[in-house]
Chains A and B, each alone.
Chain A
Amino acid sequence: TQLLEQSPQFLSIQEGENLTVYCNSSSVFSSLQWYRQEPGEGPVLLVTVVTGGEVKKLKRLTFQFGDARKDSSLHITAAQPGDTGLYLCAGDPGAQKLVFGQGTRLTINP
């Protein structure tokens, strides 16, 4: 059983479109993180959300933490080819180690 369920797992859209990636769990997390991984590299931290209902913006990326701290979303506005990559949500269920979602492989076509 996956502790963090990400959807969709694959997404291919045209440049300029908007998209949302979801990360859901039945468990409460003290914080959730989003990472992006490009081929040949390790994941790179994009953001950490800590407070229920929190919204954080990183240029065209908007991250939201659910009020109950069980889910999070990543919204990208006007996607660009440089946004292509594997997006991973992750959280600590209380065991001082991270669990990762299955990942969303995003392709932005020029």
Chain B
Amino acid sequence: SAVISQKPSRDICQRGTSLTIQCQVDSQVTMMFWYRQQPGQSLTLIATANQGSEATYESGFVIDKFPISRPNLTFSTLTVSNMSPEDSSIYLCSVERALNTEAFFGQGTRLTVV
């Protein structure tokens, strides 16, 4: 398993501002994943962050809105830019064990945009 620390755990932000979420893993991992979980919904993959290369974004998500950094093998950040109330969600980072792609998650960041 992996221990994943995410911060902040929650925030309330003004529309038009940006928030950067940090994710720290207790071991080196090749890929880190960022998910969005809208209220009452399941998880939707935003992007995959590989160390040393640009993140790979899923359909419907763009780098200008969700820039990602991956400076080393244990850390990543996701920025939610120019926020609107529609961005209010839980944002989760995860890592996967290569065998069977089992995922381990941080506790999530609950973002409310007002």
Residues of A within 8 A of B (CB): 30-31, 33, 35, 40-45, 48, 50, 88, 90, 92, 96-103, 105
Contacts and interface: CB of A to CB of B under 8 A. Distances in A.
B99 to A, nearest CB: 9
B42 A88 contact: yes
Contacts, number: 61
Interface of B: 4, 6, 9, 31, 33, 40-45, 48, 92, 94, 96, 100-108, 110
A52 B3 CA distance: 31
Nearest to A102: B42
Q: Is the interface of B mostly helix, strand, loop or mixed?
A: strand
Contacts of B101: 31, 33, 92, 96-98
Contacts of B4: 42
A35 B102 CA distance: 10
Contacts of B110: 40
Given A30-B100, A31-B100, A42-B108, 6 more contacts: A42-B4, A45-B104, A92-B100, A98-B45, A98-B101, A105-B40
B24 to A, nearest CB: 14
